[in-house]
Amino acid sequence: MSDERRDGDRSPDFRNVELVTTNGGGNERKYPVTLRDTSESGLGGMYVGQDTLSPTASFVLRDADGEDRRVRIVWTRRVADYVQMLGLEEVSEN
């Protein structure tokens, strides 16, 4: 059984972005992420690093143009010592 959580068509969309979180003191922490695909229900990405990204944290997805979108991590899967696959979805600004 696949660990993929999205049904439907996905479009390959390889690009480098940053997941950004801000602590209570206003300091940003940036995590480099490579997006691998997009679909109607979300984004798939890969993070290479030692930190474990928490699905309970609030994140902003920042692209190369400096555009920010609020996202949340729906699922993570560690596939190697320092590699996590991520399922993300945009958070509406209501």
Q: 11-90 maps to which CATH number?
A: 2.40.10.220
Domain segments of the chain: what residues?
Answer: 11-90
Per-residue pLDDT tens digits for 1-45: 344 544 556 566 789 999 999 888 989 999 999 999 888 778 999
Q: What six digits make up the tokens of 15? A: 């690009």
Tokens standing for 44? 């798939």
C-alpha span between 25 and 23 (Å, rounded): 5
Task: Reduce the DSSP state of residue 34 to 3 states and report it.
Answer: strand
pLDDT for the residue numbered 67: 86
Helix (H, G, I), strand (E, B) or coil at 9: coil
Residue whose C-alpha is closest to residue 58's, from 27, 26, 93, 23: 23
